[in-house]
Structure 1
Amino acid sequence: MKIATWNINGVKARIENLCQWLKDSSPDIVCLQEIKSVDEGFPRLELEALGYHVETHGQKGFNGVALLSKVRPDEVNRGLPGDDTDEQARFIEGVFSVEGGAIRVCSLYLPNGNPPDDPVKYPYKLAWMERLRQFAEDRLALEEPLVLAGDYNVIPEPFDCHDPRVWEGDALFLPQTRSAFRRLEHLGLTDAARATTDEAGLYSFWDYQAGAWPKNNGIRIDHLMLSAEAADRLQSVSIEKHVRAWEKPSDHVPVCGYFDFRPVG
């Protein structure tokens, strides 16, 4: 089973790239972020024509997450628990049948948090991360395979960016941000990419500005965080960076995990 995450940065603007990538890469489950579309405006027909079921949690103009899957999910939950006043569409969970049980796959778009001195944005990011920690703790108690995949807007370690000095003072790299990410790991979640390699220069995002892509001035902020039951079945991880060189690309690329699960349905 191939599970991918991709911040698409506007699904309507990127639909041709998305369809081409689905044909080329053939993932079983795709977690999309920043679809920037309401549910009824999502281009589901193009994706259904490729054999994918589509579940969305959209929002007009920004944010928005989706799950694409070759098999229909048994259950879908929208919105991260813990704050009934939060109207931002940043989280969707699907439960999928696999041989021997089920796997839970979540697509999440963690708040950016910049500028850090904003009285709302950075506190919202940290509060959202704490809600995610509480959600993960609850789900881990089920002792089921769990994949929390998405754009975390977190650079976990200095070697996850081209130049740590550039990111000092940025909400993606602040000590409080990285500490909140480590609290997820302390629950027992595994960073899939780092479970397979300690290679530096492993990036998933290159800004559109300042020639970041040709200079390879990237950062790694798109992660698959795995429960022990999922990590035990992880075979490999790939970052499909060639997609960044396509026409009209997203500034993120797909991150894919390969698992020893067989879908049912």
Structure 2
Amino acid sequence: MNIVTWNVNSLKVRQPQVLDWLAEQPATLLGLQELKQTDEAVDRAALDAAGYRILSNGQKTYNGVAWVYPAHWPEPTDVVTDIPEFEDPQRRVIAATFGDLRVINLYVVNGEAVGSEKYRYKLEWLEALARWLAAEAGRYRHRVVVGDFNIAPTDADVHDPEAWHERILCSTPERDALDRILETGLIDAFRLFDQPENAFSWWDYRAANFRRNRGLRIDLILVSDELRDRARACHIDVEPRRWERPSDHAPVVLELDYGAPGS
């Protein structure tokens, strides 16, 4: 099984790219962020024609998350579209269970700037997320959490650590919040394997940042301790970032030794 996370920065614009990518990749379960569409606006017919279904939690213009999964799979269960006991009108969460695999897809708050009101809200959101993920650990042994975390875990995930020092996406409180999430029994799958230096998943559109590889690794796949030994590889597929009108993010792919539900 392959599990993928990809912030597409508008599914309406990039659904053809998603379908092209799925046609060439053995992606099994694809988590999308920043749909920027309501559920009703998603072109489900095109996905159906390609052999996939979509479970979405959409929002007009902003945010929105979804799971794309093979049409022959059983319907997912235990679907959650909000962090429990945390009021947030923004569509940033979709969790579901496929067989005995619990998968959670997140579009974490950006935070705008350190010290801003949006930054404080980001830290509150992450605190609520950690509480929920701790509860999830008590219910599900096999867990995968994916998404655009809007946090670069360490300086190794930043093209210029000095320039980004204590800035948004790289501040100590944000990284501490991510550490608390990992303490719920999760592991950064990308770091289970040897990786090239300067491996990033997001590059600002401005200043030729992609061509210069001035990016950050903020798109993560976290696996529960019980799945650690089943992880076979994890990589960032930069090719879609080279396409015409690309998202500013690239897909991250985890190869997991795990059977499809119902098989």
> Is the shorter-chain TM-score for this pair beyond 0.5, marking a shared fold?
yes
Secondary structure of residue in 1 paired with 2:221: strand
Q: Runs (4+) of structure 1 moved beyond 4 Å?
A: none
Match of 2:115 among 103, 114, 117: 117
1:230: how far off?
2.1
Instruction: Identify which of 85, 101, 106 aligns with 1:82.
Output: 85
Tell me, yes or no, if the aligned pair for 1:237 and 1:256 is still in contact at 8 Å. Answer: yes
2:150 to 149, 153, 159: 153
SS in 1 for 2:125: helix
Deviations 1:46-103 (A, max 9, x none): 11111111110011101000000112433122112131x3110000011001xxxx10
Q: Do 2:74 and 2:261's aligned partners in 1 also have CA atoms closer than 8 Å?
A: no
Residue type at the aligned position of 1:25: Q
Which amino acid is 1:109 matched to? Y
CA distance, structure 2, for counterparts of residue 78 and residue 143 of structure 1 = 17
- Letter of the 1:189 partner, please give it: L
1:128 aligns with 2:130: no
Q: Which amino acid aligns with 1:43?
A: D
Letter in 2 for 1:186: E
State the alpha-carbon separation in 2 of the partners of residues 264 and 152 from structure 1. 27
1:130 to partner: Cα distance: 0.9
State the distance in 2 between where 1:19 and 1:74 align.
21
| Aligned residue in 1 for 2:246 | 249
Deviates more, 1:199-208 or 1:254-263: 199-208
Q: CA deviation at 1:168?
A: 2.4
Task: Write the distance in 1 (CA, Å) between the matches of 2:128 and 2:206.
Answer: 32
Native 8 Å contact 2:102 2:140 kept in 1: no
Q: Contact between 1:6 and 1:252, CA under 8 Å: does it hold in 2? A: yes
Task: Give, in whole Å, the separation in 1 of the partners of 2:37 and 2:161.
Answer: 33
SS in 1 for 2:13: coil
Count of residues in correspondence between the two structures: 259
Identity of aligned residues (%): 36
- Counterparts of 1:217-256 in structure 2, within 5 Å, are 217-256=214-253
Native 8 Å contact 2:8 2:35 kept in 1 = yes
Cα offset for 1:143? 4.5
> Mapping of 1:159-238 within 5 angstroms?
159-197=156-194, 199-238=196-235
In 1, Cα distance between equivalents of 2:75 and 2:164 = 39
- Corresponding residue number in structure 1 for 2:7: 7
CA contact (8 A) 2:5 2:253 kept: yes
The unaligned stretches of length 5 or more in structure 2 are none
* Structure 2 Cα separation of the partners of residues 180 and 253 of structure 1: 24
Separation in structure 2 between the aligned mates of residue 81 and residue 212 of structure 1, nearest angstrom:
38
Listed as ranges, the gaps of 5+ residues in structure 1 are none
* Alignment partners' CA distance in 2, 1:93 and 1:143: 12
| More divergent stretch after superposition (121-130 vs 166-175) | 166-175
Show CA shifts across 1:146-172 (max 9, x none). Answer: 001000000111110110122124220
| Distance in 2 (alpha carbons) for counterparts of 1:22 and 1:198 | 24
Q: Match for 1:93 among 95, 112, 133? A: 95
User: One-letter code of the match for 1:54?
Assistant: I
Q: Which residue of structure 1 lines up, in the alignment, with residue 45 of structure 2?
A: 45
Shift of 1:227: 0.8
Amino acid corresponding to residue 233 of structure 1 in structure 2: R
User: Relative to 1, partners in 2 of residues 1:161 and 1:34: Cα closer, same or farther, differing over 3 Å?
Assistant: same
Distance 2:122 2:12 in 1: 27
1:77–1:92 contact (8 Å) kept in structure 2: yes
